[in-house]
Amino acid sequence: MTDKPSAAAPAPAAKETAAPRFEVKLIAPHTHARKDYVAGDTIKVTARQRQFLVEAGVIAEAK
C-alpha cells in the first residue's frame, strides 16, 4: 500500500452544475448578456438575476 492520495473523482459536467434558468418577460427595456432588449421580449435568467430584475422594475414579480 502506498501513501499517495487516491485520484479525485472527476468534476461533474458543467450542465449538471449550472443554475436553473427561468424565462421572464420584460416590462421595460433592458440589456442582458450585452444585448439590448425591449419591453415584451423574453430572456432566460437565474433565480438571483430574476430577483434583481423584479427589484429594478424590469420584470413583474412572479405569481
Residue type, 56: A
Q: Which pLDDT tens digit goes with each residue over 9-60?
A: 666 555 567 899 999 999 999 999 999 999 999 999 999 999 999 999 999 9
- The 10 Å CB-count burial string (b at 16+, else e) for 13-52 is eeeeeeeeeeebebeeebebeeeebeeeeebebeeebbee
- Which residues make Cβ contacts (< 8 Å) with residue 17, sequence separation at least 6? none
Name 23's bridge partners. Answer: 44
DSSP 61: P
**Reported pTM:** 0.69
